Amino acid sequence: MKTTPPLYLLLLFVFLGLATTQKDPRTKFFPKLEEKPEVIPAKENLWVFILAGQSNMAGRGKVEPMDTIPDPRILTINKTGELILAKEPLHFYEPTLTGLDCGLSFGKELLKHIPDSVSILLIPTAVGGSAINQWISDETYRNVPLFSNFKEKTAIGKQHGIVKAILWHQGESDSAAPETIEIYDQQLAVLFGKFRTEVGNPNLPIFMGRLGSYSKTDESWQAINSKMEAYQKTDPYAHLIKTKDLNHKGDFIHFDSEGQRVMGKRYANEFIQRRMVVVE
């Protein structure tokens, strides 16, 4: 003889069923599958770009279907360092936070200006909330040893291609105190020197994104921007992109999706402009 479960158990089963089928809105359009490239380009035809910094480079924008359409000429790496076709989100260090970054937008814009024989490899190394001194001292932050991870991922890039530039967006954490703002340009010099040594190119271009103009502590953010500008004057291979007109996603901290896509295009166009005047 069958017995009917109590009503509260039936309601519990229904609730658990709904909970397992509902999706996190943040990950709604995250890609479900990794795709491997059919052919890995020759080393001289694979241009490597390293993405470094904190959350606005790691990406906090909403991923939409357009951001997951791969191009066979734009590659990235997965958690185990394998080459895969690039789809947003590229960063994987903070699975409960990460979202759309500027990488794929950068790659798609860059393809418009480079030879058809060249492909792009995007190497994600940014970790949200990280301060510049934590990068310099190789501190482990959010379970990532920042500079050691940069070295490891750079080695993968150098194995497969030629490192052409670093895209850097960071400084929000350092804007929190006058003493870290004061030395930010000096810290940039130290860290960028370490980056270039690791890549093996003392003239490696590094492209910095200014902090946004929407912060509730805008004065301190603009102070960091001023330090970037001061540093740029001392380093002929460091370049700045503007972000003043870009919007936040509602939290006054992170660029929205459109801002991330525009920022990627600006990094790409700045790279192209600088490459046109530099004899490699």
How high is the pLDDT of residue 219? 97
* Bigger pLDDT: 18 vs 56: 56
| Count: domains in the chain | 1
For residue 11, pLDDT beyond 60: no
Residue 147 placed within a domain: yes
Residue 6 placed within a domain: no
- The CATH number of the domain holding residue 105 is 3.40.50.1110
**Residue with the two structure tokens 């001194």:** 133
Residue 8 placed within a domain: no
How high is the pLDDT of residue 276? 66
The pLDDT confidence band at residue 21, using thresholds 50, 70 and 90, is: very low
Q: What is the mean pLDDT of the chain?
A: 92
For residue 264, pLDDT beyond 80: yes
The pLDDT confidence band at residue 120, using thresholds 50, 70 and 90, is: very high
Residue 2 placed within a domain: no
How high is the pLDDT of residue 20? 40
The pLDDT confidence band at residue 275, using thresholds 50, 70 and 90, is: confident
The pLDDT confidence band at residue 81, using thresholds 50, 70 and 90, is: very high
The pLDDT confidence band at residue 18, using thresholds 50, 70 and 90, is: very low
Between CA 86 and CA 103 the distance in angstroms is: 9
* Joined tokens for residue 91: 């960063």
How high is the pLDDT of residue 15? 43
- For the stretch 194-253, pLDDT in tens is 999 999 999 999 999 999 999 999 999 999 999 999 999 999 999 999 999 999 999 999
Residue 49 placed within a domain: yes
For residue 146, pLDDT beyond 90: yes
**Full-model pTM:** 0.91
Q: What separation in angstroms does the CA of 28 have from each of 32, 54, 110, 112, 219? A: 10, 23, 27, 29, 36
How high is the pLDDT of residue 5? 54
Residue 102 placed within a domain: yes
Residue 3 placed within a domain: no
Q: What Rg, from alpha-carbon coordinates, does the chain have?
A: 21
Expressed as residue numbers, the domain containing 143 is 28-276
Residue 75 placed within a domain: yes
Q: Give the β-pairing of 144-145 and 140-141.
A: antiparallel
